[in-house]
Amino acid sequence: AQSVTQPDIHITVSEGASLELRCNYSYGATPYLFWYVQSPGQGLQLLLKYFSGDTLVQGIKGFEAEFKRSQSSFNLRKPSVHWSDAAEYFCAVGPYSGGGADGLTFGKGTHLIIQP
Amino acid sequence: DAGVTQSPTHLIKTRGQQVTLRCSPKSGHDTVSWYQQALGQGPQFIFQYYEEEERQRGNFPDRFSGHQFPNYSSELNVNALLLGDSALYLCASSNYRDRVITEAFFGQGTRLTVV
């Protein structure tokens, strides 16, 4: 069965510093990969997605992620974080049989704290 | 253009009761998926509806059932509520024809508390 691991439950970063959130997946084929962000009490907002092609994908709010097949990873990065980036971040993978809009498997999330 | 809308936003129910949650998809979308997000966890896929039929299902018991209406809106029903059903229930909509190349859009969720 497919799975997603986000090894860091909490990460604390100073405002203006760079950020990298880790995501590893287990999947038997070329995966559909996503990063979502969730603010407290809110739904999920898509930051970026990888379906195929260029392994470095750009998203909204200055985020980017790199797909590394050899490492089964899809890490999220941002060069300089802002206090408004404090939120919960989820990595997700699409199903074997379907596409990007079918039932996703999510990781448990990484809680990002921004220090002033 | 309204996005995905869910109602109610919050709900408190007693163990053993039944609950119905509602979702209206984004304009132009015909497919609705439901997720359960327990506190401190990532969302878990419950099922997906297209053309008024359940197309995919995650690992959830039969107490969880759904329905899709001709206008593409959907309901999630949970029978015989357990304390463990307390969670944020998220609805996501998409267009079935484009599902291989696109992603789903999520609503704000319904917070269900079972006491």
Residue B53, pLDDT above cutoff 90: yes
Residue of B nearest to A39 (CA): B108
DSSP-based helix, strand, coil % in chain B, nearest 5: 5, 50, 45
- Determine if residue A7 is left, alpha or beta; phi over 0 gives left, psi from -120 to 50 gives alpha, anything else beta: alpha
DSSP-based helix, strand, coil % in chain A, nearest 5: 10, 45, 45
Q: What is the pLDDT of residue B1?
A: 63
Q: What is the CA radius of gyration of chain A?
A: 14
Residue B79, pLDDT above cutoff 90: yes
Query: How far apart (Å, rounded) are the C-alpha atoms in residues B15 and B68?
Result: 26
Scanning A10-69 for CB atoms below 8 A from B yields 34, 36, 41-46, 49, 51
Collapsing DSSP states into helix, strand and coil, what is residue B29? coil
Q: How far is B57 from chain A (nearest CA, A)?
A: 8
Residue, of B16 and A101, whose pLDDT is higher: B16
Query: What is the DSSP-derived secondary structure letter of residue B101?
Result: T
Model confidence pLDDT, tens digit, residues A24-83 = 998 767 788 999 999 987 889 999 999 888 899 999 999 999 999 999 999 999 999 999
Question: What residues in A contact B42, CB-CB < 8 Å?
Answer: 4, 90, 92, 106-109
Residue of A nearest to B56 (CA): A103
Type of residue found at B57: R
Residue B103 has its nearest CB partner, among A4, A49, A103, at A49
Model confidence pLDDT, tens digit, residues A86-96 = 999 999 998 75
Residue A1, pLDDT above cutoff 90: no
